[in-house]
Structure 1
Amino acid sequence: MHLSATPIPDSHIKVYLPSLPYLYVSHAINGALLKPANNARAWDYDLATSHQQISDKIYQFTLRKGVVFQDGTPFNADAVLENMRYFKEKPFSFSPFHQVYDYTEKVDDYTVRFHLTEKYGSFINDVIWLHFYTTAYLEKFGWNGKATCPNLAEPGPYGIGPYILTEGYIEGDRRTKKAVLQANPNYYDKDLVNVEKVTVFTELDTNIALEDIADNEGGLDIMPIPVTEVSNIMTSAYAKLVSGPSNDNIAVHINMITGNPKLKDKQVRLALNRALNQSGIVKNSFYGFAETKPTLASPNFPGVGDIAQDLKPFSALEHPKDARNELKQLLNGLTLKVLTQERFMFLWKSIDRDLRKVGVKLEFEITQNENVIFEQLLSTNAGQNTKDWDLLVWGDDDWYFNHPWSAFFVYQTDSVWSTVSPDQTMNTYISDMFKETINTPASTAIIGKIMQRAYDNAYMLFVPAPKKVLAVNQEVMFEPYKMATLPLWEVTVSDQHWSLQQ
């Protein structure tokens, strides 16, 4: 492993991220008080060195000294206050944080206090996404102001993370097909970054990408793969299989807003879920690299696993074949339009097989571009989607870092991410959840109410939770995180890597 104080000269890796690329690379480019980590709490200190909770509504952070932005300007309490003023004007809206955030106080040059308007137990999870930008960036673009997590709108030395975005851009709602990252020479931890250059691809043909990583010595270095390709990677001369535990989920939306009117009927939605043999899907579609679950949220989330011990998947309570005649009476002749990325067709083959047995026909519109999925999903709640769809799928990886909000947020029925009919009871449960700190009895109790209501009303098409399965160049070393982040700062390459041989 490379342990010198600078990146390996000329080292270069190529990464393909077909789902949520802005999440996976964001913390490699941007800096926050906390950063994701593969530990029990899912974070480590980054631009802060310590913190304390003074009260339910006040949190104090001690800032790391000697830190500068990528353009060389200093990071201190004044920089935090400037960023939070811009945040107040155009905050992110994927959580209620902007609704409870009041102001930030400067205690001294390296100490700040965040003041909230009410008790908010999920504050730490949001702090991980409070990225700080240079004055030049803020004056040009302001803060995020979107329903997605923050990132840079254009390349430049605007962030504070270990890599500078030098080409392209990757935001939640817009991205180039390729982006280039270069090691940040001003990064505060000179021993952390090993690889000098990273090229990130956000849109490739899956078959071509798989061939590239398996058969090309100078091809892709890291990509998530369909589990159907595990054996091909295991026999590759250039790639190896890397897998691990995951908090990730596959979100299959049922369009109760503008979709087939029959989907407003709870009994129809329950029948669709009852028709899916989750154990069979784990075996036939995931080749064992997944686990069954009763709702959207992975059982690896704090609190969710406790509830899932009693709340079982529908097919674990009654095998679909035993209910087939009853399900046919509800579903026979139903045709549903599916909008999906090509990368999820391995899963749809099993879903299609199970639903055909009860008389449901699926019609597919397939894309390689995740933007197409989000364009339709984020406009459906307001009834403005431009494509007709009944079922829609996307990779809902754990972007809230060990907290089930990354699965539950699609149940908040007044959110642009939701395609669920209005449900004030569910919205109230979710509001109550944010007041509690995760991994406490109070938090687990409200998590149970949310899961039970989603389950009883079949608000999504519930499918198994996938494990992390990636193809990685044999000369590249890294350990995947359970969450939606790619720790580029931990990736290293051997002296036999293609970039060094060239």
Structure 2
Amino acid sequence: MKMKTTLQYAALLCAFAGATSAQTVRVANQGDALSMDPHSLNESLQLSVTSNVYEPLVGRNKDLSLAPSLATSWKQTSPTVWRFELRKGVQFHDGSPFTADDVLFSMARTQVEGSDMKSYTNDVKQVRKVDDHTVEIETNAPFPILPDVLTQVFIMSKRWCETNQATRPVDRRKGIENAASFRANGTGPYRLRERQPNVRTTFVRNGNYWGKIEGNVQEVVFTPIGNDATRVAALLSGEVDVMEPVPVQDIDRISNSPNAQAMVAPELRTIFLGMDQKRDELLYSSVKGKNPFKDKRVRQAFYQAIDIEGIKRTVMRNVSLPTGLMIGPGINGFTQEQNKRLPYDPDGAKKLLADAGYPNGFEVTMNCPNDRYVNDARICQTVAANLSRIGVKINLAAETKGTYFPKILRRDTSFYLLGWTPSTYDAHNAMNSVMSCPDDKGAGQFNLGSYCNPEFDKLTRAVQSETDKAKRMAMIKQAFDIHANDIGHLPLHQQSLAWGVSKKVKVVQRGDNYLDFKWINVNNTNGR
């Protein structure tokens, strides 16, 4: 193992050879962005990376408040119509002008087969071009948080996509690729120069950018380094300037080092477990002829068999916040009153299983990534050990997110781990995307176990259009009570952000785990 790590480190040094200019910053992550197509995968690392190349109509400031981006202003002209004034003089990286036609094209592109962004635009009825720099977006019902939702919808060039046969997003479920998987043509502050999947991706400053780039970085080299020890060694040696996640056991070591520091802060992501509640027979289980997860007693038994405090203490090194909700603090709709977990009770869980007809437990496969969330594989291993105490045998299938996401997004799973950050910072996002009954328009697109409660869905639609804050909060509370009573999912915890950053580098750490290249400054006066 030590030799393998040494060889990986040597390869890393070679990968960074030549990238030593004063305004170059080297970023490492445990995984890679799986595509350069901003509509192909609704995953925060991919969106974080591509957000430096592509832009939405409405962006975010450093404090996550809304900011003008490709739209300079927006307003409601009726309860269901929003008008957006588009920024003039903006060019795509190939020099072509940005116009309303690109907005209409991009909004439509998010809604076609293969798009992973349908849940953001599933309630858009029509997008209309008023003139070259004005568009109207009409929704099926009043949608007061539409500008927040659009922060995740990146605008692509209609002409470039048509020329390069990339009018549809790549479908991660089918493994299909097109030109937009490896190339990019956005309006953002950085341009894609080189793309080597799972090896290295290089970005360079866009000299024709319409806005201000506060940082001094001319080049960003992004490299996936899956091995924790190698990633930490690269930071401490100065071969990497920014890396994440910092293994929880190395936070103090990095913070006490002379050349780097660990930036630790709460993240808005909730880690949870989902179960197939739709099929009459699970795909991967010893139980034949029926689906044990359709029985609330089984779901509750799994919930109460999980020692979440043990996971916090031994796996997460106390850098996590156990939760009973599918959203965390900082998300509109969160209340501490509701954030109560069912008690850890293995004996009670055994009784629930027996009452449900499984006195000896059963066998089921659990799908888990090993390079996406903080200690994701170790969390799954611990959950498997917890469940073994009540007679449930877990066949753990842990794999890289490059194969994990396509599999679970096909719903080719019986039991899985997932994380979710509501990109609108509002409960409706999680309700609509993760907890609603799946439909063909985008609702429940990431409800991969197909939990379904019509009353919950009714409240989700009402929350979307309600403008009275008190009424809206009451409906959110009622919906989360329904979901908790159903044991619709098994919430685990909110993980903490932990970035390792060179002391020569200044970055802005956003609560949604996005890294904006335009805000990075490198002070390299002393060399490397």
Deviation at 1:273, TM superposition (A): 0.8
| 2:406 is aligned with 1:375 | yes
Q: Return 480-489 or 340-349, whichever deviates more.
A: 340-349
Q: Tell me, in whole angstroms, the C-alpha distance in 1 between the residues paired with 2:495 and 2:127.
A: 39
Partner-residue secondary structure (3-state), 1:132: coil
Q: Tell me, in whole angstroms, the C-alpha distance in 2 between the residues paired with 1:142 and 1:463.
A: 39
The corresponding residue for 1:187 is: 209
Partner AA of 2:252 in structure 1: S
Are the equivalent residues in 2 in contact too, given 1:295–1:462 (CA < 8 A)? Answer: yes
- The correspondence of residues 112-127 of structure 1 with structure 2, limited to 5 A, is 112-127=135-150
The corresponding residue for 2:35 is: none
Partner AA of 2:235 in structure 1: I
> Which of residues 473, 477, 492 is equivalent to 1:448?
477
- Tell me the TM-score normalized by structure 1: 0.82
Deviation at 1:177, TM superposition (A): 4.7
Partner-residue secondary structure (3-state), 1:29: coil
Q: Tell me, in whole angstroms, the C-alpha distance in 2 between the residues paired with 1:111 and 1:159.
A: 19
- The correspondence of residues 237-256 of structure 1 with structure 2, limited to 5 A, is 237-256=258-277
Q: Deviations over 1:383-402 (max 9, x none)?
A: xx2xxx54322332343444
Q: Tell me, in whole angstroms, the C-alpha distance in 2 between the residues paired with 1:203 and 1:416.
A: 30
Q: Tell me, in whole angstroms, the C-alpha distance in 1 between the residues paired with 2:406 and 2:295.
A: 26
| Cα distance change, pair 191–38 in 1 and its aligned pair in 2 (3 A) | closer
Q: Tell me, in whole angstroms, the C-alpha distance in 1 between the residues paired with 2:179 and 2:256.
A: 39
| Cα distance change, pair 167–181 in 1 and its aligned pair in 2 (3 A) | same
Partner AA of 1:450 in structure 2: A
- The correspondence of residues 70-469 of structure 1 with structure 2, limited to 5 A, is 70-81=93-104, 83-84=106-107, 93-95=117-119, 97-107=121-131, 109-139=132-162, 140=164, 141-142=166-167, 144=169, 153-156=180-183, 158-168=185-195, 176-202=198-224, 204-214=226-236, 216-219=237-240, 221-256=242-277, 257=279, 258=282, 259-260=284-285, 261-304=291-334, 306=335, 308-315=336-343, 319-320=344-345, 323=348, 326=351, 329=354, 332-342=360-370, 343-367=375-399, 369-380=400-411, 385=412, 389-406=413-430, 409-414=433-438, 415-417=444-446, 418-436=448-466, 440-469=469-498
- Tell me the TM-score normalized by structure 2: 0.79
Deviation at 1:408, TM superposition (A): 5.2
Q: Tell me, in whole angstroms, the C-alpha distance in 1 between the residues paired with 2:327 and 2:51.
A: 23
Partner AA of 1:181 in structure 2: F
The corresponding residue for 2:15 is: none
Partner-residue secondary structure (3-state), 2:46: helix
| Cα distance change, pair 157–144 in 1 and its aligned pair in 2 (3 A) | closer
Partner AA of 1:12 in structure 2: V
Deviation at 1:25, TM superposition (A): 1.4
Q: Tell me, in whole angstroms, the C-alpha distance in 1 between the residues paired with 2:515 and 2:431.
A: 19
Q: Tell me, in whole angstroms, the C-alpha distance in 1 between the residues paired with 2:186 and 2:120.
A: 25
Unaligned runs of at least 5 residues, structure 1: 1-7, 170-174
The corresponding residue for 2:516 is: 487
| Cα distance change, pair 348–228 in 1 and its aligned pair in 2 (3 A) | farther
Deviation at 1:193, TM superposition (A): 4.1
Are the equivalent residues in 1 in contact too, given 2:24–2:219 (CA < 8 A)? Answer: yes
Q: Tell me, in whole angstroms, the C-alpha distance in 1 between the residues paired with 2:253 and 2:245.
A: 14
Deviation at 1:83, TM superposition (A): 4.3
The corresponding residue for 2:51 is: 27
Q: Tell me, in whole angstroms, the C-alpha distance in 2 between the residues paired with 1:83 and 1:17.
A: 30
Partner-residue secondary structure (3-state), 1:247: strand
Partner AA of 1:299 in structure 2: P
The corresponding residue for 2:16 is: none
Are the equivalent residues in 2 in contact too, given 1:31–1:46 (CA < 8 A)? Answer: yes
Are the equivalent residues in 2 in contact too, given 1:64–1:110 (CA < 8 A)? Answer: yes
Q: Tell me, in whole angstroms, the C-alpha distance in 2 between the residues paired with 1:71 and 1:176.
A: 26
Unaligned runs of at least 5 residues, structure 2: 1-20, 32-42, 286-290, 439-443
> Which of residues 455, 465, 472 is equivalent to 2:501?
472
Q: Deviations over 1:383-440 (max 9, x none)?
A: xx2xxx5432233234344445146522223245221354433333333332235x92
Deviation at 1:300, TM superposition (A): 2.6
The corresponding residue for 1:11 is: 24
Deviation at 1:157, TM superposition (A): 5.7
Deviation at 1:143, TM superposition (A): 5.0
| Cα distance change, pair 361–452 in 1 and its aligned pair in 2 (3 A) | same
Partner-residue secondary structure (3-state), 2:77: strand
Q: Return 417-426 or 455-464, whichever deviates more.
A: 417-426
The corresponding residue for 1:4 is: none
Q: Return 406-415 or 483-492, whichever deviates more.
A: 406-415
Deviation at 1:202, TM superposition (A): 4.5
Are the equivalent residues in 1 in contact too, given 2:324–2:338 (CA < 8 A)? Answer: no
Are the equivalent residues in 1 in contact too, given 2:120–2:153 (CA < 8 A)? Answer: no
Q: Tell me, in whole angstroms, the C-alpha distance in 1 between the residues paired with 2:186 and 2:426.
A: 25
Are the equivalent residues in 1 in contact too, given 2:101–2:158 (CA < 8 A)? Answer: no
| Cα distance change, pair 446–179 in 1 and its aligned pair in 2 (3 A) | farther
Q: Deviations over 1:172-229 (max 9, x none)?
A: xxx6553221111111124434211222234623343233223x32136221133233
Are the equivalent residues in 1 in contact too, given 2:319–2:496 (CA < 8 A)? Answer: yes
Q: Tell me, in whole angstroms, the C-alpha distance in 1 between the residues paired with 2:151 and 2:81.
A: 17
